[in-house]
Amino acid sequence: MLPDSQSLFSDSPAPRSSRDERKLESDWIWKLKEFEETQVRYRDAPLRGQPAFRYLPGTRSVLISAPHGALHWRHGGWKGEDEYTAALAHLLAEETGAHALYTVRRIRPDPNFEDDTDYKRTLARLLAEHDIELVLDLHGARRGRDFGIELGTMSGLTCPDFEATIIRRLEWQGFVRDHRRSLDRLWVNRLFKGGARQRTVTRFVWEQCGVNAAQLEINAHLRVVRRKPDAMLYRDEPDFIADPVRLRRAIQAIVRIIRAV
């Protein structure tokens, strides 16, 4: 049990009982599954006259980005979706009042690899219009990675004002560097560094827009509520499901981060 000062809802205007918290956390998983199944089409082209992504307006100075919510075109072919990152972005925005920009249909070119994209142009406009202070860019790591969550900030360059806060909130929810259990392990700027060698969203937000940005790479065990039949990995792992306890902790940690800005 976390101390009262570290309660998930400590910065919420009205206290909630532990029973309320458990119900809310259960609702989170149901909402993720419902949104991903009904709103996200990994392989489908965008509807005529519409972009491949959606924007959910918010009231806070944080924007949640999920550019790989569906298939994305890179190096002459389609790369697999980062499952449930679109649903996570939508849920986090609804829960906290953050803004959210997320892909729900296949997108070309990959906005996390090319700068000349509608996604990044829309993102830049939103950052200017809404005085955003922090962008959290959500991505998905495969199940075999040796971490639960990795934070990428190009070694602190892209998120000077909030990196320490992000790490502290992740640690409060049990994601700790050098943890003996890999799914509880937090990596910081080790494998997915946020854009040191690539034109990522995180790098774009910092270099082109002057806004703090951080990439959160989330292991499939903390993300994929239930694999959909149209998922790229469905043929190999059709029955894959997330660890619900760690999934809830990951959501709690990101909610904390947003509310700390």
Mean of pLDDT over the chain: 91
Q: What domains lie within the chain, and their CATH numbers?
A: 9-260 (3.40.630)
Torsion of CA 39, 40, 45, 50, to 10 degrees: 50
Q: Model's pTM, two decimal places?
A: 0.90
- Give the SS3 label for residue 260: helix
Which of the pair, 18 or 235, is modelled with greater confidence? Answer: 235
Each residue of 149-181: pLDDT tens digit?
A: 999 999 999 999 999 999 999 999 999 998 989
CA distances from 221 to 87, 234, 243, 252 (A): 15, 15, 5, 15
Beta strands in 57-203 (DSSP E): 62-66, 72-74, 77-79, 99-103, 134-141, 149-152, 186-188
Share of the chain above pLDDT 90, in %: 86
Note the pLDDT of residue 3: 36
Q: Could you give the CA distance from residue 202 to residue 253 in angstroms, rounded to a whole number? A: 19
250 near 155, Cβ under 8 Å? no
State phi, psi for 186 to the nearest 5 degrees: -105, 125
Note the pLDDT of residue 135: 98
- Give the SS3 label for residue 176: strand
β-pairing verdict for 149-152 and 134-141: unpaired
DSSP tag of 223: T
CA distances from 119 to 27, 41, 107, 249 (A): 30, 17, 9, 29
Each residue of 74-132: pLDDT tens digit?
A: 999 999 999 999 999 999 999 999 999 999 999 999 999 999 999 999 999 999 999 99
